């Protein structure tokens, strides 16, 4: 059994599927000069499943969150989700994504066994969104949110990193998205800890 420093059982695992991302959000990554992990060094699907089966599940992990980089850049993501969801003892499988590819894959991910999705959404203004993400397309993310709702994930959450002087004036606008739709909003304060 895994326990934290307060002697609580740890049942939750964040699993980063890739270091790569199609965006360069100002608060997350520098615009250029990134050293990616070579593809041959990234864990293969079978290696991930072996690690889960032989290490984490016997230690009591029942909840897994898929992250990245951008997890939807991983080849065969739907197949990997299905294989993880089929592991005995997994009760919750979630993913955090920038939502740019979600419209095309939401239904397949739900069918494969993904329960919940968190979508990064730092602005509802196309020009500001593109500036914060250094090239993101707000319309694609909004289409991804619609697809996630239509696919009937058990929860759809929007994560907004609130940056003073950048997007704090949109907190109420993002919260308004939750009034008539089954969406949860999370507001995350940016803390300067790296070079991004």
pLDDT of residue 196: 47
Integer Cα distance of 109 and 101 in angstroms: 12
What do you get for the CA distance between the two ends of the chain, in Å? Answer: 36
Q: Which two tokens stand for residue 98?
A: 């920038």
CB atoms within 10 A of CB 27: 18
Residue 175 has pLDDT above 50, yes or no: yes
Average pLDDT along the chain: 92
Please tell me the total count of domains within the chain: 1
140 burial level (CB within 10 Å; 0-12, 13-18, 19+): middle
Boundaries of domain holding 156: 12-189
Residue 100, domain CATH:
3.20.20.70
Q: Give 26 or 76, the one with higher predicted confidence.
A: 76
Would 175 be classed as within a structural domain?
yes
Domain annotation covers residue 4: no
Q: What gap in Å lies between CA 25 and CA 1, rounded to an integer? A: 37
């Amino acid at each position: 059994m895994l326990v934290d420093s307060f002697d609580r059982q740890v049942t939750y695992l964040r699993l980063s599927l890739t270091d790569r991302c199609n965006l360069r959000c100002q608060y997350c990554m520098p615009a250029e000069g990134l050293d990616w992990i070579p593809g041959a060094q990234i864990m293969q699907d079978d290696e991930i499943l072996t690690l889960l089966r032989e290490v984490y599940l016997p230690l009591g992990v029942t909840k897994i969150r898929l992250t990245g980089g951008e997890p939807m850049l991983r080849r065969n993501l739907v197949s990997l989700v299905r294989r993880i969801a089929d592991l005995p003892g997994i009760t919750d499988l979630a993913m955090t994504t920038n939502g740019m590819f979600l419209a095309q894959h939401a239904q397949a991910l739900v069918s494969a066994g993904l329960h919940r999705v968190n979508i990064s959404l730092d602005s509802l203004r196309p020009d500001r969104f593109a500036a914060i993400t250094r090239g993101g397309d707000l319309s694609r993310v909004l289409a991804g949110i619609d697809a996630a709702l239509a696919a009937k994930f058990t929860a759809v959450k929007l994560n907004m990193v609130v940056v003073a002087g950048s997007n704090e004036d949109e907190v109420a606008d993002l919260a308004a998205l939750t009034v008539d739709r089954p969406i949860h909003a999370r507001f995350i304060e940016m803390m300067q800890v790296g070079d991004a």
